[in-house]
Structure 1
Amino acid sequence: MLKMHVITVFVLLGTGLTVNSEIHSLKYIYTAFSKPVELPGIHEFTAMGQMDGRMIDYYDSDVQKKVAKQEWMKDKLPEDYWEKGTQSRQSKQQWFKVNIDILKKRMNQTDDDIRVLQWIHGCEGETGPDGTLKFVRGVDMYNYDGQDFLSFDDAHSVWVAAADIAVQTKRKWDEVQVLKEYTKGYLENECIDWLSKFMTYGEKQLKAASKPDVHVLAKKTRIESNLMLSCLATGFYPKDIILIIRRNGRVLTREDGLISSGVRPNGDDTFQRRDSVEILKSDIASFTCEVIHKASSVFVKKDWDHKVDGGNNIGIIVGGAIGGLLVVVLVAVAVVLVVLKKKGKFGSNQSPTSGRSSSSGSGQADPEEAVPLNKSPVVSVITVKGSKESVNSGDSGRSTGSDQGSSNGSSNGSSNGSPNGSDKKQPEA
């Protein structure tokens, strides 16, 4: 399962020493349904960018426009950036629609059921003492009907099938050497360049830390003699936090039954984390919750008063992880899948993969586009079988062997002189 990595800070308790390195991330998440979903707030297609867990831009099939979600994005990026980004996501929306149909046919799935195709790609970088951002890892993953399908192994430059049904796609994509080179290049270079640029643009906001609210509570469990003791920190930013539960001064660990939610996003660009341990009601030991949030200079110690909370007044937003994609938008998708299954509108068959979509064209470079044209030739156009039109893509120039063709004679060379966009055609699954 893919997990969003947090800023790493090792705190040596009692000495105040820290290791001065930070992990930052830039990721783009796409979610497409096979047809409109009759649930409030759920769109047939959604795309968003996230930096360090905060949404920076957004697009959905109803608004049909890529918009900024942070003030610094509005201030620093020209109108041309948003126009080209809108064109890119409109093309991606079409690409997803066509490829869902391809996957349904491959899986012998009917049009009655609602299917969902997802893609997440991006990178993580580490800043050293000199402020230089260095590549740590990249992610390029596909998910269909709530199941992991295909991912790119950046270290070995190969596609990895998460299920037997994805082996066919893996073999097709592994045969396209230029595709692997482009994907690796985007993750390790282009994405990091954009992340560094965005960090500079939003430097003031990124440094603005929010303090955590800390709560200690205990609730009844199904076992009459036991209680679930929890330490909850919520409303903090950035996401790096240390949370400890002590019993008579000793730090509790997994060996003691400690469980953690991990850092999860709230709905307001802040985060939360809850650690819990099951204890006996009769335990009269002293339990203490300690929270260290370095960014906001917070060090909180709260003792449990041995009271039992009878209600659920301090809730925790449950972060969703569908097939390993631990991101905010997938929380909503998880809910949708559960609802649709209950309504009998979501099929049970598992399936294959996805791909990408179109370029942002000429003009302002697009941080989502995985294939910079100034570094590569244009891969042959793919005409989707069973469709009257070819599907524009671009992000990774995905092309798939026997499905290749050409359009308008543009099999080589650059397109429109766009520095980071692409007119490459996306491969089928």
Structure 2
Amino acid sequence: MLDVVLLLLGAHLACAGTHSLRYFFTGVSGDIDFPEFTAVGLVDEGQFFYFDSNTKKTEPKTEWIRQNEGEDYWNSQTQILIDTHQSYKVGIQIIKELFNQSGGVHTWQMMCGCELDEDGTKQGYMQYGYDGEDFLSFDKSTLTWTAANPQAVITKHKWDSTGEDAIYWKGYLDNTCIEWLQKYVIYGENTTKVAPQVSLLQKSSSSSVKCHATGFYPSGVTISWQKNGQEHHEDVYLAELLPNEDGTFQRTSTIKVSPEELKKNQFSCVVEHQGETFRSILKASVPIGFILAAVVGVFLLIVTAVAGYTVYQKKKGFKPVNASDDGPNGSARSDT
């Protein structure tokens, strides 16, 4: 049995609602041109730490974690994840044997995390996947693992044999994860707020116009459009919130406006963040200053970090285990 010690770092819960702390470990084997092992921590879909087996360094990705954890802390996490990488290398070879595979590119992934609602409701979940498909998931109610395919049954019986890991993970998901979420709320609340930079971007006079807000922190932002001073919702598309590499966020709203409409009416983008309002008026000629470089940088970072997670997370997403939950030092398994 190979037990791997992990660290769940925590979350920023500056706004009301449901908030989540999740992290992903991905081991990859085969002829690849990206890291064999990556670890990513996400808070409300925003990345707050990153590690890979090429750099062999755990990096903080938000200002609130940088301001509150020192060098010794990050050095210790780096050593933990270096050890975890070695365990995943062994684990993926074992699981390849279960599937009678000798070559090719294969992935062995783990997702673990918790959620906290504003009404105090808690959930926790832990799942493993192989080659983009479900493999094992933890059932907190029965303290057992659920196998998704025949190959996983062998691992299920092995992990269920003593029950020790199940007791540990129930305790982790019921207590520690949520405790760390709450701890990092304080970290986030004490971090300086950063206002957004707002730009209007257009490729040509006949193309859609993008209102791009970037560099803001915390993540809560509202982007809307006005036509002649009144709210306007027609032909408007709001993109998803994206993290920047420095721990701030960006978001884009797109509107379709014909040159004729623009001559007769005044359109403006209104961005609201932390009680402040930023307004940009759309003119007949908007300079091109497209944001592809920033967006591509974010996508490359996340794609490399998650290394196949997009395939593994089906449209329904991970099904949370009903729980109350937990936080920092834990142990995850790479053996099968």
TM beyond 0.5: yes
Alpha carbons 1:6, 1:240 under 8 Å: kept? no
User: Which residue does 1:411 correspond to in 2?
Assistant: none
Compare CA radii of gyration and give the structure with the larger one. Answer: 1
1:55 maps to which residue?
Answer: 48
Aligned to 1:192: 178
* Kept in 2: contact 1:226–1:280 (CA 8 A): yes
Structure 1: distance between partners of 2:114 and 2:145? 17
**1:31, CA displacement in angstroms?**
2.6
Q: What's the counterpart of residue 91 of structure 1?
A: 83
Q: 1:308 to 1:107 in 2, by over 3 A?
A: farther
Is residue 8–residue 22 contact of structure 1 (8 Å, CA) maintained in 2? no
Is 1:27 the equivalent of 2:19? no
Please say if residues 211 and 254 of structure 2, whose CA atoms lie closer than 8 Å, have aligned partners that are also in contact. Answer: yes
How many Å apart are 1:302 and its aligned residue? 1.9
Q: Which moved more, 1:269-278 or 1:230-239?
A: 269-278
Q: Which amino acid aligns with 1:74?
A: G
Aligned to 1:72: 68
For 1:199-252, what per-residue CA distance to the aligned partner results, in whole angstroms no more than 9, with x for missing partners?
4456532xx1110111222335xxxx9522222111011111111123452331
Match of 2:278 in 1: 300
1:367 aligns with 2:328: yes
1:13 aligns with none
- In structure 2, the partner of 1:258 is 236
| Structure 1 runs not aligned, ≥5 long | 10-20, 129-133, 321-327, 338-365, 370-393, 396-424
Q: Distance in 1 between matches of 2:134 and 2:82?
A: 25
Going from structure 1 to structure 2, the CA distance change for 1:243 and 1:182 (only over 3 Å counts) comes to: farther
Matched length: 297
What is the one-letter code of the residue matched to 1:89? L
Matches within 5 A, 1:362-401: 367-369=328-330, 394-395=331-332
Between Structure 1 and Structure 2, the one with more helix by share is 2
Deviations 1:17-73 (A, max 9, x none): xxxx365543333232215744xxx432222445563525x5433454657662421
Secondary structure of the structure 2 residue equivalent to 1:267: coil
CA contact (8 A) 2:196 2:273 kept: yes
Does the aligned pair in 2 maintain the 1:159–1:170 contact within 8 Å? no
- 1:330 is the counterpart of 2:326: no
1:316 and 1:189 map into 2 onto residues whose CA distance is 38
Distance 1:66 1:332, change over 3 A: closer
Match runs of 1:24-423 below 5 Å: 24-35=19-30, 37-38=32-33, 42-51=34-43, 53-56=46-49, 58-62=50-54, 64=56, 70-74=66-70, 79=72, 85-86=77-78, 88-111=80-103, 113-126=104-117, 134=120, 136-146=122-132, 166=149, 168-169=151-152, 173=156, 176=160, 182-200=168-186, 203-205=189-191, 208-220=192-204, 227-248=207-228, 249-252=230-233, 256-284=234-262, 285-294=265-274, 297-309=275-287, 312=290, 315-318=293-296, 320=299, 329-332=301-304, 367-369=328-330, 394-395=331-332
Aligned to 2:322: none
**CA drift at 1:88:** 3.5
Change over 3 Å in CA distance of 1:184–1:258 after alignment to 2: farther
Separation in 2, partners of 1:283, 1:241: 27
Q: Give the whole-Å Cα distance in 2 for the aligned partners of 1:159 and 1:192.
A: 22
In structure 1, distance between residues paired with 2:226 and 2:100:
54
TM-fit CA distance, 1:97: 1.1
Structure-1 separation of matches of 2:146 and 2:236: 33
Give the structure 2 partner of residue 359 of structure 1.
none
Higher strand share: 2
**What is the Cα deviation at residue 269 of structure 1?**
0.7
Deviations 1:123-167 (A, max 9, x none): 233568xxxxx4544343444445565555779988677xxx646
Q: Shift in Å at residue 98 of structure 1?
A: 2.0
Label 1:258 to 1:110 Cα distance change in 2 as closer, same or farther (>3 A): farther
The alpha carbon displacement at 1:82 in A equals: 5.9
Q: Tell me if structure 2 keeps the 8 A contact 1:6–1:239.
A: no
What per-residue deviation string (whole Å, max 9, x for no partner) do you get for residues 325-356 of structure 1? xxx8532257x77xxxxxxxxxxxxxxxxxxx
Checking the alignment, whether the CA contact within 8 Å between 2:202 and 2:208 is kept in structure 1 is: yes
Shift in Å at residue 265 of structure 1? 0.6
Question: More relative contact order in 1 or in 2 (CA 8 Å, sep 6+)?
Answer: 2
Aligned with 2:207: secondary structure? Answer: strand
2-side partners of 1:243 and 1:154: how far apart? 40
Q: Taking structure 1 as reference, are residues 95 and 85 closer, same or farther at Cα in structure 2, changes over 3 Å only?
A: same
- For 1:292 and 1:155, locate their aligned partners in 2 and report how far apart those are by CA, in whole Å: 43
TM-score by length of 1: 0.55
**Which 5+ residue runs of structure 2 have no aligned equivalent?**
1-10, 309-326
Q: Residues 109, 245 of structure 1: CA spacing in aligned structure 2 closer, same or farther, 3 A cutoff?
A: farther
